[in-house]
Amino acid sequence: MTDYSGIHTSVLLERSIELLGPALGRPGAVLVDCTLGLGGHSEAFLEAFPELHLVGLDRDPNALRLAGERLERFSDRIDLVHCVYDEIDEALEGLGIDEVDGVLFDLGVSSMQLDEVERGFSYSKDAPLDMRMDDTAAFTAAEIVATYSEADLRRIFRDYGEEKLADRYARFIVRARDEAPILRSGQLVDIIQAATPAKFSNSGHPAKRVFQALRIEVNAELSVLERALPKAIDALVVGGRIVVLAFQSLEDRIVKRELTKRAASTAPAGLPVELPEHRPELKLLVRGAELADDDERARNPRSIPVRLRAAERIRRIA
């Protein structure tokens, strides 16, 4: 049997179990792992809660296959579904599940996808400009680079990569593609490096934010998350819990906004008594966003940027 522990180390695993655990102890409890990946978090939950039923969602067919092999011994307690996680409501309906006790999101690109050179996610290795999390989808990073206007390239580099040199990089890419198609990550890195002024040479790899922006655009990551979070919260029973691990600020802002909004009273200002229908839907379980501790950061460098947020559902809207 494949040893997956060396392939991927799950981030904030023990803390996720600690936060979700109080909602998962009853017989028949259901946990939705919205980002199944290689199944590291799911495996730990299934081991920790012998009567837990797991629904694992992933847009990557290869991840589903590998996770299915890893979780084979739990086959009578799992349902794995090929879908993007903003389809959580449809996935649950298809399984005949009305409510769930826990939801976990481990956002961003998976270690497996980063490590598969041919997927084109990494700026450090030359590969086709792909970046699809679901390799059955049609839209690739190469198409964006080839067809987006300079203004649209500038927009995604600025909005999704928070790139200060968005204007310059977009201009250089358009100029380069007029001379020859840009089909590989190495070509794009060369263009970005040539466009980067010397004074920015010590600010990390110049392609990092551009590659992040392209990946987000290819997979519609932010809009998918904005649709998925409300659906996931709506699926929770009263007493159910949600944990979200975000690895970049754009995702974390969306998570913070949705959880904070639902954890606030909707009573109009000045109302002397809070009516039941104005009470918050959620109770926040952590103060702000939690980070991995020093030990985990040293043990697993991919945990360094993580931001964890969690909440419990305390009221259901009629």
Query: Under 8 Å CB-to-CB from 208, ≥6 apart: which residues?
Result: 123
Task: Check whether residue 17 and residue 162 sit in a common domain.
Answer: no
227 lies in some domain: yes
Q: Check residue 137 and give its pLDDT.
A: 86
* Terminal C-alpha separation, the chain: 48
* Average pLDDT of the residues in 168-190: 97
The larger pLDDT score, comparing residue 282 to residue 204, is at: 282
In this predicted structure, the answer to whether residue 69 has a pLDDT above a threshold of 60 is yes
Establish how many alpha carbons lie within 13 A of residue 53's alpha carbon, considering only the half-sphere containing its beta carbon: 12
Task: Check whether residue 190 and residue 270 sit in a common domain.
Answer: no
Tell whether 96 is in a known binding site: no
Q: Check residue 135 and give its pLDDT.
A: 86
Task: From 219, 238, 258, give the residue that closes a domain.
Answer: 219
Count, residues in the chain: 318
Task: Check whether residue 97 and residue 240 sit in a common domain.
Answer: yes
CA distance 292 to 274: 37
Helical packing angle, 221-235 and 208-219, nearest 10°: 60
* Average pLDDT of the residues in 185-200: 94
106 lies in some domain: yes
Confidence of residue 204 (pLDDT cuts 50, 70, 90): confident
The larger pLDDT score, comparing residue 231 to residue 265, is at: 231
Q: Look at strands 282-284 and 307-313 and give their pairing.
A: antiparallel
The larger pLDDT score, comparing residue 199 to residue 311, is at: 311
List the single range of 112-116, 117-121, 152-156 with lowest mean pLDDT: 112-116
Tell whether 186 is in a known binding site: no
Which two tokens mark 227?
């649709």
CA distance 306 to 293: 10
In this predicted structure, the answer to whether residue 250 has a pLDDT above a threshold of 90 is yes
The answer to whether 148 touches 142, Cβ cutoff 8 Å, is: no
Q: Check residue 290 and give its pLDDT.
A: 96
Per residue in 17-57, pLDDT (tens digit) is 999 999 999 999 999 999 999 999 999 999 999 999 999 99
CA distance 21 to 23: 5
3 lies in some domain: no
CA distance 111 to 258: 27
Q: pLDDT averaged over the chain?
A: 92
Domains in the chain, number: 2
User: Residue for token digits 């981030």?
Assistant: 11
* Average pLDDT of the residues in 284-300: 94
Q: What is the sign of the dihedral through the CA atoms of 170, 172, 173 and 178?
A: positive
Task: Check whether residue 59 and residue 177 sit in a common domain.
Answer: no
Q: Check residue 201 and give its pLDDT.
A: 74
Task: Check whether residue 162 and residue 308 sit in a common domain.
Answer: no
The answer to whether 72 touches 39, Cβ cutoff 8 Å, is: no
Domain membership of residue 190 as a residue range:
118-219
Task: Check whether residue 93 and residue 52 sit in a common domain.
Answer: yes
Per residue in 137-168, pLDDT (tens digit) is 889 999 999 999 999 999 999 999 999 999 99
1 lies in some domain: no
Q: Check residue 79 and give its pLDDT.
A: 98
The larger pLDDT score, comparing residue 6 to residue 102, is at: 102
Q: Check residue 265 and give its pLDDT.
A: 80
Q: Check residue 112 and give its pLDDT.
A: 64
Task: Check whether residue 88 and residue 226 sit in a common domain.
Answer: yes
Task: From 180, 198, 219, give the residue that closes a domain.
Answer: 219
Tell whether 106 is in a known binding site: yes
Q: What is the CA 230 to chain-centroid distance, rounded?
A: 15
Find the CATH number of the domain harbouring 79. Answer: 3.40.50.150
In this predicted structure, the answer to whether residue 251 has a pLDDT above a threshold of 60 is yes
Q: What is the CA 154 to chain-centroid distance, rounded?
A: 24
In this predicted structure, the answer to whether residue 8 has a pLDDT above a threshold of 70 is no
Find the CATH number of the domain harbouring 202. Answer: 1.10.150.170
Q: Check residue 200 and give its pLDDT.
A: 84
The answer to whether 144 touches 219, Cβ cutoff 8 Å, is: no
Task: From 183, 202, 219, give the residue that closes a domain.
Answer: 219
In this predicted structure, the answer to whether residue 302 has a pLDDT above a threshold of 80 is yes
Tell whether 41 is in a known binding site: yes
Which two tokens mark 123?
């700026």
Using a pLDDT cut of 90, give the percent of the chain over it.
80
Beta-bridge partners for 53 = 30
5 lies in some domain: no
Confidence of residue 174 (pLDDT cuts 50, 70, 90): very high
Task: Check whether residue 289 and residue 153 sit in a common domain.
Answer: no
Tell whether 8 is in a known binding site: no
User: Residue for token digits 């970005």?
Assistant: 192
CA distance 105 to 32: 9
CA distance 279 to 269: 13
Task: Check whether residue 66 and residue 127 sit in a common domain.
Answer: no
In this predicted structure, the answer to whether residue 6 has a pLDDT above a threshold of 60 is no
In this predicted structure, the answer to whether residue 80 has a pLDDT above a threshold of 70 is yes
Tell whether 120 is in a known binding site: no
128 lies in some domain: yes
Task: Check whether residue 213 and residue 143 sit in a common domain.
Answer: yes
